[in-house]
């Protein structure tokens, strides 16, 4: 396998591993209705919380993708 392919394979493995860390078996889905009520009582939009979490996830996915897509060092630089 070429070095570039290995770089992509590693990135995909990292994404796959990361996707499996938070299993529903370990972390079950919350009661969204109750969570919404609690957030509403505290005057906090649950949508803001969800968007924050999604932004965090996508920033990490983007970081992994940027690292994988970065040009590998030239053979003369090693």
Number of independent structural domains in the chain: 1
Flag whether 77 is in a domain. no
CB-side neighbour CA atoms (13 Å) of 74: 2
Answer whether residue 41 is part of any domain.
yes
Is this prediction's pTM over 0.75? no
Cα first-last separation, the chain: 19
- For residues 17 and 64, is the Cβ–Cβ distance under 8 A? no
pLDDT in tens, 7-55: 999 999 999 998 888 888 888 998 989 988 888 898 988 888 889 999 9
Query: Radius of gyration (Cα) for the chain, nearest Å?
Result: 19
User: Is residue 76 domain-resident?
Assistant: no
Retrieve residue 52's tokens: 């924050």
Domain range holding 52?
A: 3-71
23 domain residue, yes or no:
yes
Domain membership flag for residue 63: yes
């Amino acid at each position: 396998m070429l070095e570039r392919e290995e770089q992509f394979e590693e990135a995909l493995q990292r994404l796959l591993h990361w996707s499996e860390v938070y299993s529903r078996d370990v972390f079950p889905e919350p009661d969204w209705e109750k969570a919404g009520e609690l957030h509403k009582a505290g005057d906090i939009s649950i949508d803001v919380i969800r968007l924050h979490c999604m932004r965090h996830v996508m920033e990490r996915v983007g970081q992994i993708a940027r690292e994988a897509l970065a040009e590998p060092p030239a053979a003369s630089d090693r």
